[in-house]
């Protein structure tokens, strides 16, 4: 249990660092030196030291949104097996509970945006509510596959110990479709290119960034930390699938896991460097690709297991 708690603390502390790698990758492709790797920590500390400014049109929902969103994502990480180790919390069916936690975080982020009475934030909130619906369908399709392979609905049965390697042995090549689907889900849930551009300053094209325009100080720090943790959460799942090996030593397993997460965030940085964001009407088609990949992976695997 102590090791599980320490790994959870490692996730909380290292998530801003892994998110900072994306800036470095984009700077490399742009021929720039870029910001320091620790820029996200500096930004969080700077925001925490500032005061928050609230509009007269907002209610307690606006203040509650960042806190609930951060708490929900941090709680979801308690169920994630990190570096192959057992999670802090686990029970059969916890994957459904985790989806509700992530949905709760999204709901309060949207509610806080709507509470400002800003048309721009309302527009971003509508998009935030629409695109993840397709992601949830894709995730449920992946869960159907994992359930048929393991007979369990707990993340610990999918990503702890040698379970990922067992998934590859049972499902085989179709699991590549699952990895691709999870990567598309990661890009969508975290509002990355080509779904959204976190570096844009044009409100009409924003999704996530436009929803948090009125947040400031510690509230905005909570939102930023929550986004780092959510990126780490999805990257951790992909990392365990692309590097499903066990090295027989907790420290080496942590190093291998960190390398896997690093590969994922570097891939995100490369995508943002070589692609432009899609037009808004093309985003649903891109997100539906994740569902198609998950569906075909499930269909092929279940047919093979007959």
pLDDT in tens, 15-64: 999 999 999 999 999 999 888 999 999 999 999 999 889 988 899 999 99
Residue 203 pLDDT > 70? no
**Alpha-carbon gap, residue 131 to 109, rounded angstroms:** 15
| Band (209; pLDDT cuts 50, 70, 90) | confident
The helix or strand, by DSSP H or E, that contains position 260, with its residue range, turns out to be: helix 250-274
Give pTM, 2 decimals.
0.96
DSSP 161-187: TTHHHHHHHHH-TTHHHHHHHHHHHHH
- 237-257: average pLDDT: 93
pLDDT at 198: 82
pLDDT band per the 50, 70, 90 thresholds, residue 302: confident
Q: Where are the domains of the chain?
A: 1-305
What's the pLDDT at 134? 87
pLDDT band at 204; cut points 50, 70, 90: low
Q: What gap in Å lies between CA 156 and CA 148, rounded to an integer?
A: 15
């Amino acid at each position: 249990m102590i090791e599980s708690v320490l790994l959870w603390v490692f996730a909380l502390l290292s998530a801003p660092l892994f998110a900072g790698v994306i800036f470095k990758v984009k700077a490399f492709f742009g021929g720039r030196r870029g910001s320091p790797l620790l820029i996200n920590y500096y930004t969080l500390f700077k925001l925490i030291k500032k005061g928050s400014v609230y509009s007269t049109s907002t209610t307690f929902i606006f203040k509650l949104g960042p806190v609930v969103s951060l708490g929900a994502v941090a709680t979801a990480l308690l169920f994630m097996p990190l570096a192959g180790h057992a999670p802090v919390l686990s029970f059969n069916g916890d994957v459904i509970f985790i989806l509700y936690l992530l949905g709760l975080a999204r709901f309060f982020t949207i509610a806080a945006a709507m509470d400002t009475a800003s048309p721009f934030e309302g527009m971003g909130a509508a998009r935030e509510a629409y695109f993840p619906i397709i992601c949830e369908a894709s995730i449920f399709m992946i869960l159907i596959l994992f359930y048929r392979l393991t007979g369990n609905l707990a993340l610990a049965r999918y990503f702890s110990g040698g379970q990922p390697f067992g998934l590859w042995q049972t499902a085989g090549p179709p699991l590549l479709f699952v990895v691709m689907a999870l990567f598309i889900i990661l890009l969508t849930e975290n509002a990355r290119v080509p779904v959204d551009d976190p570096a844009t300053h044009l409100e009409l094209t924003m999704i996530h960034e436009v929803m948090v325009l009125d947040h400031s100080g510690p509230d905005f720090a909570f939102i930023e930390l929550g986004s780092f943790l959510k990126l780490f959460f999805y990257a951790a799942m992909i990392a365990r699938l692309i590097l499903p090996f066990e090295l027989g030593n907790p420290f080496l397993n942590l190093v291998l896991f960190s390398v896997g997460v690093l590969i994922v965030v570097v891939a995100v940085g490369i995508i943002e460097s070589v692609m432009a964001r899609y037009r808004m009407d093309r985003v649903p088609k891109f997100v539906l690709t994740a569902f198609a990949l998950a569906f075909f992976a499930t269909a092929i695997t279940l047919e093979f297991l007959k």
